[in-house]
A and B are shown apart, each in its own frame.
Chain A
Amino acid sequence: MSTATYAGVTVDVNEEGFFEHPEQWTREIAEEIARADGIETLTDRHWQVIDFMRREYAEKGTGPTVRVLGKASGVSVKELYALFPKGPAKMAAHIAGIPKPKGCI
């Protein structure tokens, strides 16, 4: 495990940069990670996805897949890719400060 510093706060992350402890996350941190990931400004639509991801994680212990995001977050899969071009599930999980989604097997 290593650490990263966002918005002046040091947080625990794994080797791929995903949060180990989602409770260390703040909205300011999200803005900063987003900028580092190439998203200049987080819009309301970004936030809708980020908040949904955090709720899902709190409830189920893992982040949702793209398909579940498309069905349940209120944002279509097409728009998800426009908002998070590097892959919605991974990129939004990174910004939302939750571990990398386990995905499907």
Chain B
Amino acid sequence: MSSRIVILGAGTGGTLMANRLRRRLPADRASITVVDRDDRHVYQPGLLFVPFGLARPEDIVRPRGRQLHEGIAYERSAIDRVEVERDTVVLAGGRELPYDVLIVATGASLAPQETEGLTGPGWGVSAFTFYELEGAAALERALAGFTAGRLVVNVIDMPIKCPVAPLEFCFLADWHLRERGVRDAIELTYVTPLDGAFTKPAASRALEGLLGEKGVHLVTEFNTGEVAYGAEGHGGMITAYDGREVPFDLAVVIPLHDGADYVARSPGLGDELGFVPADPATLQSHVRENVFAIGDASDLPISKAGSVTHFEGEVLTENVVRFLDGRPLDAGYDGHANCFIETGFSKALMIDFNYDTEPLPGHFPGPIGMPLLKESRLNHLGKLMFQWFYWHTLLPGRDIPGVGADMPMRGKHRPDPAGARATPDEEEGIP
């Protein structure tokens, strides 16, 4: 009997799931339909480079349909809602798509309107976000004309996509402004709701060290309540709920994130923020056993990042096949995440972690590899090369050579409790 698999979203998760499942399942075994409202697939890691003129918007966008392999139906439509009781997706306009398995892969969306004052007269004048293409391009123009004053990078609240990107923005801004010879006239401040630069202790310490070296001021535990702009939207003030204030001339804001709109219109599908509650190891939703979630769309306690989606894809492909076979699911996803952190001056550092293991120093994926938690040119080249892997390996649903879904412990060092000297992990048999 042929099963109907419907995948909502043709971004990273939806595309790689469609391609992986198509390869695993013969055409008479399952039909695969992918729904997306537009045909613009943005390489999101590239957004960071746009404000600095290091990538052009048109270089990081490709048609969605072209990333989907033969034998996959592409339905270009907005989604009105999902009716999990009837196993049916209702498209905008009322047409219905019944399914046997549903994969929610519609990511996270930005909600700047949820912060008081943020989308007022200064939005697009002195406050910008580089988390979407138009904003990143507008910020490039604003940054090019910025020669003196206060540049503030403000994360409103978690969760956000790629929690390291706002830090990378600071590092690149420092580099960019130095190259232009205006750095001394600009005060650069990073404002975060977290109690440090990052969520995980070892990485947080390393990143705070870098911020310090680059002369970036760090303001922590700042819960933004309101943004107020000056005359005609020029400059303004960010105020926290506890009354603290941060003035700015140019603000780079990472707005609140929600799940996709239709999730909120789909009874039972999402949580209060529109993310789909799912099992952290199997990716099966808590809503219905035939509904799964991948990537930014889920509520999993892990970074919203492309590498996470890629590693989840391996486990989820197996689980959709098992579900169709009526076999028990594989609780195989360990929370593996891997990020390059661009630090400017053609260098980057890399972090690799999972649910249980925070980012550790060492090398990835093994003792001979890219340095972890340490700046290097090799990591920067890796980050640049990754765009090729994204279109040609990750989206087609192939594995990246030497990089598996399970987080590798080979090559990592656990700092000893005294913190005196890092030692290799003996259990893993490091030579």
Contacts and interface: CB of A to CB of B under 8 A. Distances in A.
Contacts of A102: 301
A53 interface: no
A4 interface: no
Given A66-B223, A105-B302, A81 B273 contact: no
Contacts of A72: 272
Main secondary structure of the interface of B (DSSP, over half): loop
B256 A67 contact: yes
Nearest to B256: A67
A102 B299 CA distance: 13
Interface string A62-81: 00111110011000011001
Contacts of B242: 81, 85
Nearest to A68: B272
Given A66-B223, A67-B256, A77-B225, A104 B272 contact: no
B158 A104 contact: yes
Interface in B182-226: 199, 221, 223, 225
A6 to B, nearest CB: 27
B285 interface: no
Nearest to A103: B158
A67 B157 CA distance: 8
A68 B273 contact: yes
B241 A78 contact: yes
Interface in B302-325: 302-303
B382 interface: no
From B256, B301, B302, residue with most partner A Cβ within 10 Å: B301
Given A65-B158, A104-B158, A105-B199, 8 more contacts: A72-B272, A77-B241, A81-B223, A81-B241, A81-B242, A85-B242, A87-B221, A87-B223
Interface of B: 157-159, 163, 199, 221, 223, 225, 241-242, 256, 271-273, 301-303
